[in-house]
Structure 1
Amino acid sequence: MYSTILVPIAFEEGRDSSAALDIAKALLAPGGTITALHVIEEVPSYASTYLDESLIVEARKSVMHALAAKLGDHKDVTPHVVTGHSGRTILEEAGRMGADLIVIASHRPGLQDYFLGSTAARVVRHAKCCVHVIR
């Protein structure tokens, strides 16, 4: 059983966050915590100079509401939204919170994944804790 579980949530089509949350709950030790993490990709600096700060704040609020809605009946899961590069930021957040398990959903690998690697593959290769991958 695990006491601190991180579940990265992507809003992409075909990612089953519900299954990842169910598995996290099944592996959770009594008194443990589950955090659902969504990473907003950073806007490149050449584009961010043209964006109004209020637009960025509103977009972040919208993402937080979408994450809360995606959690649905999982009321005991803490939603968390950060900005950064997906693979690196998931690993940083896992380290920051002292996660002992990451439960991450992954798509079936395509040809491009063999050359570039998916976010889940990066997390598996570099995590300092256990990783459970859902397909």
Structure 2
Amino acid sequence: MYKNIIVPIALDHGHDPSEALDVAKALRADGGKITLLSVIEPIPGYIATYIPEGQLEKNRHEVIGNLEADAAGDDSVDARVITGHPGSAIVDYAKDNDVDLIVIASHKPGLQDFFLGSTAARVVRYSKCAVHVLR
């Protein structure tokens, strides 16, 4: 069983996180915690100048609200939003927060994934902790 689990969620892909959250709850040790994690990619400077003031913070609050709704009132499930490239940001967050399991959903790989690699593939490749991939 695992004491510190993260479940990365890409809200822009329309995935239903319930399966990943159920797996995380089944693998969680007594007294363990689960963190729903969403990564927001940084906005390039040439685009940021056209975004209304306060919009990025509004987006962050909306993402947190969606994650908290996914947690459905479970006090042992936290919601976090970080900024960065999803694959490396998830791995870095896991390393910096003593995470011992990442439960991540993956899609069927397409041709582009063989050249660039999916987020799940990058997490599996570079993570120092256990990774449970859902298909």
TM-score, length-normalised on structure 2? 0.92
> What is the aligned residue count?
134
The range that moved more, 31-40 or 55-64, is 55-64
How far the C-alpha of 1:101 sits from its partner, in A, is 0.5
Query: What residue in structure 2 maps to residue 128 of structure 1?
Result: 128
Contact persistence 1:8–1:104 (CA under 8 A)? yes
Asked whether the equivalents of residues 16 and 105 of structure 1 are also in contact (C-alpha less than 8 Å), the reply is no
Q: Which residue of 1 aligns with 2:22?
A: 22
Taking the aligned partners of 1:125 and 1:38, their CA distance within structure 2 comes to 19
Q: Percent identity?
A: 54
- Which residue of 1 is the match for residue 113 of structure 2? 113
Q: Using the TM superposition, give the Cα deviation of residue 73 of structure 1 relative to its aligned residue in structure 2, in angstroms.
A: 5.4
Kindly provide the amino acid, as one letter, of the partner of residue 114 in structure 1. Answer: F
Q: 1:67 is paired with a residue of what secondary structure?
A: helix
User: Structure 1: any 5+ residue segments left out of the alignment?
Assistant: none
Q: For residue 50 of structure 1, report the CA deviation from its aligned partner.
A: 2.5
The RMSD of aligned alpha carbons is 1.3
Deviations 1:22-72 (Å, cap 9, x if unpaired)? 111111111111101001111112111232331111111111112222333
Measured in 1, the distance between the counterparts of 2:57 and 2:41 equals: 14
Unaligned runs of 5+ in 2: none
Task: Tell me if the contact between 1:37 and 1:82 (Cα under 8 Å) persists in the aligned partners.
Answer: yes
Alpha-carbon distance in structure 2 between the residues aligned to 1:69 and 1:127:
27
